[in-house]
Amino acid sequence: MRRIGDKVTDIKIAYIGGGSMGWAWNLMSDLANEEQLSGTVRLYDIDKEAAARNEKIGNSLKNHPNAKSQWDYIAVDTLEEALKGADFVIISILPGTFDEMESDVHLPEKYGIYQSVGDTVGPGGHVRALRTIPMFVEFANAIKQWAPEAWVINYTNPMTLCVRTLYEAFPEIKAFGCCHEVFGTQELLKSALADIEGIQAGHRRDIKVNVIGINHFTWLDKATYEGRDLFPIYKKFVDKYYETGFEGTKKGHWMNDFFASANRVKFDLFKRYGIIAAAGDRHLAEFCPPWYLKDPETVRSWMFGLTPVSWRKENLKKRRAKSERLVNGEEPFELKQSGEEGVLQIKALCGLGELVTNVNLPNRGQIANLPIGVVVETNAVFSHNSVRPVQAGSLPPDVLNLVFRHVINQETTLKAALKKDKELGFRAFANDPLVTISINDAWKLYNDMLRNTKKYLPGWDI
């Protein structure tokens, strides 16, 4: 890449999972809206046809009347072609198919175990991790061989173990994981400020927060607006809406949208622990004992939903149809800001300013009472060719008790996946707080779930 004044050109981005019909379109839109960057995006996907469609969609944006920059999109056949000479690598894949995810999420329901997402923790998150980790070992080794100096941005879940695997396989890798869950909590704090004090903050970034925890189980122990402590305001807000929930102008939306909630899980965790839980309710609930996920009736009482994989399958059909319409020019591509910060991070790493945002990185002491080397989520400072994690402090002991259990389970899952050790993997599986069934039933469930994903577990004794 080259720096010319306040612009950086000839940037080379390798996109692993480049046939994506979600994240990839967000990236295309954000890149086209950024006038200071330009270059080439190489799209690699095991679904070559999907990557080829995205090549056509991406290149069509050169003629979009609202495009502020020019990018070339090229679908490639191999990881080597994608990675050679890359400045940045983006990883956004679905580990397996929705058939495997259907087993992850819904097979445990036969034993009374309910999961609202099933991609990070719980039985589903564990089994998803087992099939994801070998893929990320392959990615790390390929990056080491063909793009060792590239910055690697991961969007794939389970986020913590994806990033952890990259560093386990290639310790010198320059990788970090991005998640937008904290952004939603900043928006909620904006709403609290407006509702309680009548003060309208501009952008969510005006709400300054200290992020501490692990992905999808992040917490805020400090939050300010123009130097003003927001915790007393948030407490009044929680007290006001604890029973009814808060959705702003979308009252009752959680009943019709599998991804929405009324924030009651967040409010309850704040009342329990005195610090702000900073992820969506669907994710937060899965990290706790089945306080919120005991059964579908309990889930409804907390005003969020269980996302069925059947919905994801139907939505995939709709996105494929949209992809065809975009390729054929039957539907215009809408250029809009996605709300993600990947392009802002790329700008900062290229030397175009500085950015502070939350990312997932190995713990080098930024969370004082979690083990060194495990992947944690805190703020970090992005600047020219540099990502420096911010010292976030320590988790309160009672919150640490919840978080630490998952940290150990994730480390155990990593070892089990690398060793292809079913007994070791079961220890993590059975130790998850959602697995409240007998050991015998847990073994039956575990074996059935592994059989349903055995295509992605070569070498395992299944």
Gap between the Cα atoms of 63 and 84, Å rounded: 28
Average pLDDT of the residues in 211-238 = 98
Q: Which residues of 84-113 are buried (b: 16+ CB within 10 A; e: fewer)?
A: eebbbbbbbbbbbebebbbbbbbbbeebeb
Q: Are residues 49 and 173 in the same domain?
A: yes
The mean pLDDT of 128-151, rounded to a whole number, is 98
Annotated binding site for substrate, which residues?
A: 157
More confidently predicted of 406 and 339: 406
pLDDT at 11 over 90: yes
252 pLDDT above the threshold of 90: no
- Find the mean pLDDT for residues 240-269: 94
Backbone φ, ψ for residue 334 (5° rounding) = -85, 115
279-319, pLDDT tens digit by residue?
Answer: 999 999 999 999 999 999 999 999 999 999 999 999 999 99
**Within this chain, do residues 107 and 43 fall inside the same structural domain, yes or no?**
yes
One domain for residues 160 and 207: no
Condensed to tens digits (0 to 9), the pLDDT of residues 366-386 reads 999 999 999 999 999 999 999
Q: 166 by DSSP, 3-state: which? A: helix
Residue 191: give the domain boundaries.
181-301
> What is the percentage of the chain residues whose pLDDT exceeds 90?
97
Residue 349 falls within a domain, yes or no?
no
- Could you tell me what percent of the chain has a pLDDT over 70? 100
Residues 255 and 164 in one domain: no
> Domain check: are 242 and 109 in the same one?
no
pLDDT digits (tens, 9 = 90+) for 82-113: 999 999 999 999 999 999 999 999 999 999 99
Q: Are residues 29 and 154 in the same domain?
A: yes
8 A C-beta contact, residue 156 and residue 216 = no
Predicted pLDDT of residue 277: 98
Phi and psi of 277, rounded to 5°? -70, 130
Q: What is the pTM of this model?
A: 0.97
Query: Domain for residue 371, yes or no?
Result: no
Residue 301 pairs in a beta bridge with none
- Binding site, by residue number, is 157, 179, 216
- At which of 281, 301, 321 does a domain end? 301
Q: pLDDT tens, 146-170?
A: 999 999 999 999 999 999 999 999 9
Q: How many domains does the chain have?
A: 2
Mean pLDDT of 199-213: 97
On whether both 170 and 185 belong to a single domain, the answer is: no
Torsion of the alpha carbons at 178, 165, 280 and 194, rounded to the nearest 10: -30
One domain for residues 170 and 64: yes
Are residues 227 and 169 both part of a single domain?
no
Residue 30, domain member (yes or no): yes
Domain-embedded: residue 22: yes
Domain boundary among 266, 285, 301: 301
Is 163 part of any domain? Answer: yes
In terms of Cα–Cα distance, which of 91, 162, 92 is closest to 120?
Answer: 162
CATH number reported for the structural domain that contains residue 23 in this entry: 3.90.1820.10
Residues tagged active-site: 180
Query: Could you tell me which of 259, 216, 262, 221 has the C-alpha nearest to residue 242?
Result: 262
Going by C-alpha positions, the residue among 217, 299, 310, 219 that lies closest to residue 260 is 299
**Is 439 within a domain?**
no
pLDDT score of 251: 85
Q: Where among 177, 196, 217 does a domain terminate?
A: 177
With bands split at pLDDT 50, 70 and 90, how would you rate the model's confidence at 249?
Answer: confident
Q: Are residues 31 and 101 in the same domain?
A: yes
What pLDDT, on the 0 to 100 scale, is given for residue 97? 96
Strand partners, 44: 16, 76
Q: Which helix (H) or strand (E) holds 377?
A: strand 375-383
Q: Which residues are annotated as a binding site for Mn(2+)?
A: 179, 216
Residues 194 and 212 placed together within one structural domain of the fold: yes
Judgement on whether residues 173 and 187 belong to the same structural domain of the protein: no
User: Is the distance from CB of 66 to CB of 72 less than 8 angstroms?
Assistant: no
